[in-house]
């Protein structure tokens, strides 16, 4: 099982950041000419963002579960996310406009997003017997020991000794 870390780990990411969930839902699977063009846009955007880390995307992971597709994204700031989404020289804005022209609200394909602004220190995570995952990919992975031993400790509410792990 390559990549699995056989230890209790947590994610460390200093400063504010953004968690952005974006997805699509195939409502009429037989209308592949409607949903396939939508489905191919996100990989193009993720490749574009990976080639230009200065745009602010820290990490992204796609999750598939027919009829839904979701991408979990971590961004350095909302300003980075918004700048990318609204800049006509990048892939997102033309794709968004194309969706609105060709599909809009006809019911064939659903799209959605949720944006969460996370303040410095207002997050905690735990991974045990896991490969590096989620926020630990956006930041760094650190052992969940000492002050990071408990959820309250990882949230800087205690020194971590409030939970005994056997």
Question: What total of structural domains would you count in the chain?
Answer: 2
Q: Distances from the Cα of 73 to the Cαs of 92, 114, 135, in angstroms?
A: 14, 10, 9
Tell me the average pLDDT of the chain: 94
| 57/99 same-domain check | yes
- pTM for the structure as a whole: 0.91
Placement of tokens 């963002």 in the chain: 49
Q: What is the tens place of the pLDDT at every residue in 30-79?
A: 999 999 999 999 999 999 999 999 999 999 999 999 999 999 999 999 99
Containing domain of residue 30, as a range? 17-118
Q: What is the tens place of the pLDDT at every residue in 109-130?
A: 999 999 999 999 999 999 999 9
| 132/114 same-domain check | no
Q: Distances from the Cα of 107 to the Cαs of 12, 24, 70, in angstroms?
A: 41, 12, 18
CB 143 within 8 A of CB 65: no
| 100/111 same-domain check | yes
């Amino acid at each position: 099982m390559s990549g699995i870390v056989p230890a209790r780990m947590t994610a460390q990411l200093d400063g504010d950041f953004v968690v952005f969930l974006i997805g699509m839902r195939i409502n009429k699977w037989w209308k592949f000419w409607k949903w396939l063009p939508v489905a191919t846009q996100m990989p193009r955007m993720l490749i574009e963002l990976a080639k230009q880390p200065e745009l602010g995307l820290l990490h992204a992971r796609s999750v598939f579960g027919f009829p839904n597709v979701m991408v979990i994204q971590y961004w350095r700031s909302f300003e980075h996310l918004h700048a990318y989404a609204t800049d006509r020289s990048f892939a997102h804005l033309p794709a968004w406009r194309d969706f609105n022209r060709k599909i809009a609200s006809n019911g064939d394909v659903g799209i959605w997003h949720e944006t969460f602004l996370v303040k410095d220190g207002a997050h905690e995570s735990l991974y045990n017997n896991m490969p590096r995952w989620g926020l630990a990919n956006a930041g760094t992975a650190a052992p969940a020991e000492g002050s990071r031993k408990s959820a309250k400790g990882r949230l800087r509410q205690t020194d971590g000794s409030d939970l005994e792990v056997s």
